[in-house]
Amino acid sequence: MSSTTPIGEQREARLLAAFVRLADTLVDDYDMADLLHELAQHCVEILDVAAAGLLLSTQRGTESLQVLASSTEQTRLLELFQLQTNEGPCLECVRTGEAILVPDLTVAIERWPRFAPEALREGFVQVHALPLRLRGETIGALNLFGRRPGPLPEQDLRAARALADTATIGILQERAIHRGEVLTEQLQYALHSRVVIEQAKGVLAQAGDLDMDQSFQVLRAYARSHNSRLSEVAHQLVSGALRPQIVLASAPAAT
Amino acid sequence: MTHPPGQFESLGPVRAAITAALLDQASGVEVVRRLCQACVELLPVDGASVSVMSDSDYRETLYASDEVIAHIEAVQFTLGEGPCYEAFHGGRPVLVPDLAAAVALSWPLFAAEMVDQPVAAVFAFPLQSGAIRIGAMDLYRRTPGWLSAEQVAIALHAVDIATLALLAAQAGTLDGDGQAWADLPLHREQVHQATGMVIAALEIPAAQALARLRGYAFSAGRLVDDVARDLVARRISPYDLDP
């Protein structure tokens, strides 16, 4: 997790490397859950932020967002994302379709009386939400948290918008878009995949006495080293087709 | 994705009716009957059905609102292909606003059977919670056409209700004040994580693990969400859920 902005060229180089990698993934047969997790990590590495998450509309009305991926799977962070189901920058972003940029959360307590104090308690002072846009529709938001007050620099904002657009493409392109209604199918599938991953995290957390973030890392490392899709490994774990001990045993000295 | 408030309130009375149905008979069938009827009333569709399925060959149509949709279900189960079949196995909705245009490519056998049927559009939604897969809800209409965003939202709410009710029916948590069935936050990650923990601890299938979680919460007079939180925070052990 970088807390200093990589300056100038270094940042550009990381951005380029990230997009090359994402583009490579997108033209291949890829796992959406894995791609989005990677994207959230890129945000933290490239932008001057401490945490990043992707939230998707559940298509059940305005008041419903669900976390799809985040740079860490720490429970407290996920709760902060989730809290925005009721109020906060993400919800406003999805409602309005506009980026919500909050350089200093301490002055936003009245605006979000539940979300702002919680986020501040976790040490986050900057919060930004960028829309995941598809033509006229906003399907979700990229949520960025920073620990120091200040605006998101213009070049970071542009990079963040590009990463948000890449997330939208990643969500929608997994299966070729050949019918208009594929949006609903794809969004619902994305939400479903995430639920299976949460269940699998629970299986590994219990079997390996890990926290949820560690469980996710173990899950992901196993999928990578076995060239399997993250969501498939998760499904096998939850359905009992794959024993948690096997996944845990292959983990390089639990993180 | 902004919807005027009140669009989803239309399902409020349906929820109430379903709660009453659960109290009356504690049977999933009456629940899905009311839900299918509500779909036909609230959405521009001519029929609705709910079928339960498993990854193996088990499949049963719990309720079909008319003969046409009953036939659609039967044909798919016989042939092993079609939108509802695909929704269940793929874990994603399969929405076909113009069956004639889409069907021959995707499901040739199903297409052949639908030629003389008054079916122009089919919308199939899986009933599931992560790895817990229950079945599918299918809607059809006689004229081609897409559902609006508001109508998709209503359909998804109906899917949530059907999922909750059938999970409750399976779990046997239908007794008591009849409200407990709806107390399952389908979109809260801790509930899913806790389900996973119970699967690993008690070595039981996912559906059963969720049922234990709900049963425990119910008998302790607590919310599923709170119990899940305690499990994830290790304030209670999943072994405590073993009766």
Mean pLDDT of A129-137: 87
In Å, how far is B27's CA from the nearest CA of chain A?
26
* Residue from A188, A209, A218, A233 whose CB has the most chain B CBs within 10 Å, to mutate: A188
> Which residue from B3, B200, B232 is facing A207, i.e. has the nearest CB?
B200
**DSSP letter string over A184-251?**
HHHHHHHHHHHHHHHHHHHHHHHHHT--HHHHHHHHHHHHHHTT--HHHHHHHHHHTSS-HHHHHHTS
Is the Cβ pair B156, A186 closer than 8 Å?
Answer: no
Residue A248 class from Cβ within 10 Å (0-12 exposed, 13-18 middle, 19+ buried)?
middle
Chain A residues whose beta carbon lies within 8 Å of the beta carbon of residue B129: 195
- Residue ranges for chain B with pLDDT beneath 50: 1-8, 175-177
A133-146: average pLDDT: 89
Name the residue with higher pLDDT: B7 or A29.
A29
Element (H, E) at B129: strand B121-129
Task: Judge if pTM exceeds 0.90.
Answer: no
The predicted model gives A240-248 an average pLDDT of 95
Average pLDDT score over residue span A215-230: 93
Amino acid A135: pLDDT? 77
User: A-contacting residues of B 162-191, CB under 8 Å?
Assistant: 187-190
Contacts of A138 in chain B (CB under 8 A): 1
Q: B122 touching A, CB under 8 A?
A: no
CB A186 within 8 A of CB A171: yes
Q: Is B122 helix (H, G, I), strand (E, B) or coil?
A: strand
B92, B102, B205: residue with CB nearest A179: B102
- Which CATH architecture best describes the domain A193-249? Orthogonal Bundle (1.10)
- All residues of chain B having their beta carbon less than 8 Å from the beta carbon of residue A196 are 130-131
Q: Name the least confident of A19-33, A206-220, B180-194.
A: B180-194
Which structure tokens are listed for B110?
């199903």
| Residue A254 pLDDT exceeds 60 | no
In this prediction, residue A203 has a pLDDT band, given cuts at 50, 70 and 90, of: very high
- B100 vs A242, residue with greater confidence: A242
pLDDT in the model for residue B85? 87
pLDDT at B2: 36
> Can you give the pLDDT at residue A25?
80
C-alpha B209/C-alpha B194 separation (Å) is 9
Residue closest to A190 by CA, chosen among A172, A203, A169 = A172
- Which CATH topology does A8-174 take? Beta-Lactamase (3.30.450)
A10-14, A42-46, A250-254, B207-211: least confident range: A250-254
B contact residues 62-121, partner A, Cβ 8 Å cutoff:
90-97, 102
Chain B contact set for A54 (CB, 8 A): none
- pLDDT band with cut points at 50, 70 and 90 for residue A188: confident
Looking at residue A172, its amino acid is L
Which of B95, B197, B233 is nearest residue A202 as measured by Cβ atoms?
B197
What is the residue type of B74? A
Rounded CA-CA distance B109/A2 in Å is: 56
Give me the pLDDT at residue B11, please.
Answer: 60
Give the range among A150-164, A199-213, B167-181 with minimum mean pLDDT: B167-181
Q: Which one of B97, B187, B197 has the shortest CB-CB distance to A206?
A: B197
Pairing outcome for strands A137-146 and A65-70: unpaired
Flag if B193 and A198 touch (Cβ within 8 Å): yes
Report chain B residues whose CB lies below 8 A from the CB of A212.
Answer: 193, 232
Query: With bands split at pLDDT 50, 70 and 90, how would you rate the model's confidence at A109?
Result: very high
How far off is chain A from B78, nearest CA to CA, in Å? 25
Please list, in sequence order, all residues whose beta carbon lies within 8 angstroms of the beta carbon of residue A96, skipping any fewer than 6 positions away: none
Q: Which residues of B touch A131 (CB under 8 A)?
A: none
pLDDT in tens, B115-148: 899 999 999 999 998 888 889 999 999 999 988 8
Alpha helices in chain A (DSSP H): 8-26, 32-46, 75-83, 89-96, 115-121, 154-173, 182-208, 212-225, 230-239, 244-249
Of B8, B188, B193, the CB nearest to A202: B193
Residue with more model confidence, A120 or B176: A120
Instruction: Give the H/E segment covering residue B132.
Output: strand B132-141
Number of other residues whose CB lies within 10 A of the CB of residue A29: 7
Q: Please report the pLDDT score of residue A198 as a whole number.
A: 94
Query: Which of B1, B15, B107 is the best residue to mutate to test the A interface, defined by the most A CB atoms within 10 Å of its own CB?
Result: B1
Q: What is the mean pLDDT of chain A?
A: 86
Q: Which of B133, B58, B124, B126 is nearest to A199 (CA)?
A: B133
**B197 vs A: CB within 8 A:** yes
Taken in order of first residue, the domains within chain B and their CATH numbers are 9-169 (3.30.450.40), 183-241 (1.10.10)
Whole-number pLDDT of residue A44: 93
Residue of chain B whose alpha carbon sits nearest to that of A244: B200
Query: Regarding predicted confidence, which is higher, A58 or A78?
Result: A58
Domain ranges of chain A: 8-174, 193-249
pLDDT grade, residue A255 (50/70/90)? very low
Q: Which of B193, B212, B225 to mutate to test the interface with A (most CBs of A within 10 A)?
A: B193
What is the Cα–Cα distance from A236 to A230, expressed in whole angstroms? 10
Q: Which of A138, A196, A206 to mutate to test the interface with B (most CBs of B within 10 A)?
A: A206
- B140-179 per-residue burial string, b: 16 or more CB within 10 A, e: under 16: bbeeeebbebebbbbbbbbbbbbbbbbbbbbbebbeeebe
